Structures are given as C-alpha cells and as structure tokens.
C-alpha cells in the first residue's frame, strides 16, 4: 500500500517533469522561430539597402552631382555602406524600443498630472427655454 503510493508519487513527478520539458522545448523552438524571422527580415532589408546603395554611383553620375568612377570596388563600397547604414539604424531603433520598454514603469511614476481644465460658458437662449419649461 505504501509502496504503491510512493511509486504513484514518483510517476506523477516524472510525468510533471516530462511535461515541463516539453513545454520548455516548445517555448525555446517558438523563441528561435521568432528570432529567425526577425533576422531574416533585417537581412532582407539590409540587402535592399545594399542594392539601393549600389545604384547610388550610377544615379550620381547620371544627375551630374558627382563624378564617381563606375568600378566594381566603388559599387561594392556603396552597397556595403548602404547595408551598414541600415544595420546601424536597425540596432539604434531596437535599442530605443528596448529602453522605452524597460523604462516605461518608471516614466509613469514621474509623469506630471494634467491640470483640470475649467470651462465656463454662458447658457444659450435655447437652453434657457428648455430649463424653464
């Protein structure tokens, strides 16, 4: 009788651990998928900015703003500059979002309370008639 209760408790404990591990594994896979999706989005946008940067020397020569020699080195340099500019922007905006999220509880503590606005107006003649009736 006592042995069956102990084995039941141990079996229940192992079942709970197995469920926790499955939930933990599912949570880790979900986090990995979300992070991979975000990374792919950032990489695709960086490639787009790289393509725009690679077109930049052609555009500047066409308009006549700058005389940039069209070489593979210049094209790759402008593409890399565009990609780095986007990655810098993405990191900076991500940092700002993170700081806003972290400091949001503290910002609500130091927020000034708005003063109550008192609006005084005269009654319209139609309101006076309604009140008298």
Instruction: Judge whether 70 and 58 are in contact, CB under 8 Å.
Output: yes
Query: pLDDT value at position 46?
Result: 92
Best CA proximity match to 56, nearest among 68, 39, 73, 43: 68
16-71 pLDDT per residue, tens:
656 666 777 788 789 989 999 989 998 999 999 999 999 988 988 888 887 888 88
Calculate the CA 26 to chain-centre distance: 23
Do 78 and 54 contact (CB within 8 A), yes or no?
yes
Query: For position 16, what pLDDT does the model report?
Result: 65
The predicted-structure confidence for 74-131, as pLDDT tens digits, reads as follows 999 999 999 999 999 999 998 999 998 888 888 777 776 666 666 666 666 676 666 6
């Amino acid at each position: 009788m006592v042995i069956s209760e102990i084995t039941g408790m141990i079996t229940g404990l192992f079942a709970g651990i197995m469920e926790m591990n499955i939930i933990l594994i599912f949570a880790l896979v979900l986090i990995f998928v979300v992070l991979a999706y975000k990374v792919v989005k950032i990489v695709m946008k960086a490639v787009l900015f790289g393509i725009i940067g690679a077109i930049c020397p052609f555009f500047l020569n066409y308009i006549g703003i700058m005389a940039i020699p069209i070489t593979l080195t210049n094209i790759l340099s402008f593409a890399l500059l565009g990609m780095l500019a986007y990655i810098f922007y993405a990191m900076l905006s991500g940092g700002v979002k993170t700081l806003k999220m972290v400091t949001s509880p503290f910002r609500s503590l130091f927020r000034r309370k708005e003063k109550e606005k008192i609006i005084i107006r005269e009654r319209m003649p139609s309101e006076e008639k309604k009140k008298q009736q």
